[in-house]
């Protein structure tokens, strides 16, 4: 689901001449299959192109290794799914997080709330998950029934996206999006001599944290540690085949 959404965003940028004028934004897609090894290989392969920024990946483990690559080459990395608290801008200055780390999310839930939920479900304890779990459920076409049985009753945070015209317009376009072929490693050869530092990387890194606008998911603004601020969450209970 992330893939056609990112493709739609690129199409919107390229169709608006006030954004990049006579330039065109190209999207290079790679699938790491949640493999750290492939993440390293494909990150290096990606950097053979004239890359100005990296979006993703959807695994904190892979972000850890890719962050080292982008740091060396001065390419900003924006992740919408890496929730590991150990990923920080102090260690990886070119890393920006457009979600919230697990530690931050758990702190949003005080003990006034946990007690109430436990009472409501007639339990002495409850399982609480961060937004990673609902995101996986959202992105999966189907979940094994045995897995869903294990998830019953879990309380989870989910990023709240306000209903407004921009979101409604995007939702109405969703059914028209087509899934394009994704490039992958396919035994291709690495050309390490093609890797080079992005000369404008430091300048772009200074611009990105200063962004302040309303997107499809709400307010986009970063704090001094390059984390998304002004969060809003829905609190979900996993039940049946969904939430």
Task: Write the CB contacts of 166 (distance below 8 Å, at least 6 apart in sequence).
Answer: 214, 215, 216
pLDDT score, position 11: 92
Task: Reduce the DSSP state of residue 106 to 3 states and report it.
Answer: helix
pLDDT score, position 212: 92
Q: Does residue 224 form part of some domain? A: yes
CB 135 within 8 A of CB 157: no
Q: Does residue 29 form part of some domain? A: yes
CB 76 within 8 A of CB 89: no
Q: Does residue 237 form part of some domain? A: no
Q: Does residue 111 form part of some domain? A: no
pLDDT in tens, the chain (243 residues): 788 888 999 999 999 989 888 889 999 988 888 888 888 888 888 888 889 999 988 788 899 989 999 999 999 999 888 889 999 888 899 999 888 888 888 887 766 766 666 666 566 677 888 888 888 787 776 788 888 888 888 888 888 888 888 888 888 887 777 655 544 545 557 777 788 889 999 999 999 999 998 888 888 899 888 888 877 888 888 888 776
Integer Cα distance of 79 and 61 in angstroms = 12
Task: Reduce the DSSP state of residue 159 to 3 states and report it.
Answer: strand
Output the CA torsion sign for 177, 145, 157, 33: negative
Q: Does residue 76 form part of some domain? A: yes
pTM (2 d.p.): 0.78
* Interstrand relation of 77-79 and 54-55 (parallel, antiparallel or unpaired): parallel
pLDDT score, position 119: 65
pLDDT score, position 89: 84
In which element (H, E) is residue 214 found? strand 212-215
Q: Does residue 18 form part of some domain? A: yes
Q: Does residue 132 form part of some domain? A: no
φ and ψ of 237, to 5 deg: -120, 125
Number of domains in the chain: 1
Nearest CA-CA partner of 53 in 223, 208, 214: 208
Tally the residues of the chain.
243
* CATH classification of the domain holding 66: 3.40.50.2300
- Kindly state the tokens that stand for 182: 């994704």
The domain in which residue 34 lies consists of 2-101+162-230
Task: Write the CB contacts of 14 (distance below 8 Å, at least 6 apart in sequence).
Answer: 20, 24, 25
CB 69 within 8 A of CB 77: no
Q: Does residue 129 form part of some domain? A: no
């Amino acid at each position: 689901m992330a893939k056609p959404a990112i493709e739609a965003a690129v199409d919107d940028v390229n169709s608006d001449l006030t954004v990049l004028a006579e330039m065109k934004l190209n999207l290079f897609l790679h699938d790491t299959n949640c493999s750290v090894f492939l993440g390293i290989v494909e990150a290096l392969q990606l950097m053979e192109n004239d890359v100005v920024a990296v979006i993703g990946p959807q695994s904190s483990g892979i972000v850890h290794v890719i962050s080292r690559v982008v740091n060396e080459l001065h390419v900003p990395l924006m992740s919408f799914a890496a929730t590991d608290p150990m990923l920080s801008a102090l260690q990886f200055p070119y890393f920006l997080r457009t979600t919230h780390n697990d530690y931050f999310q758990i702190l949003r839930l005080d003990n006034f709330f946990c007690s109430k939920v436990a009472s409501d479900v007639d339990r002495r304890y409850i399982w609480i998950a961060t937004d990673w779990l609902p995101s996986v459920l959202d992105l999966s076409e189907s979940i094994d029934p045995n897995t869903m049985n294990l998830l019953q009753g879990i309380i989870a945070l989910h990023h709240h996206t306000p209903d407004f015209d921009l979101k409604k317009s995007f939702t109405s376009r969703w059914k028209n999006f087509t899934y394009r072929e994704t490039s992958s490693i396919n035994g291709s050869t690495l050309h390490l001599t093609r890797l080079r530092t992005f000369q404008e990387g430091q300048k772009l890194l200074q611009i990105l944290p200063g962004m302040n606008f309303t997107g499809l998911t709400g307010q986009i603004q970063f704090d001094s540690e390059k984390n998304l601020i002004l969060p809003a969450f829905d609190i979900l209970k996993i039940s049946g085949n969904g939430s």
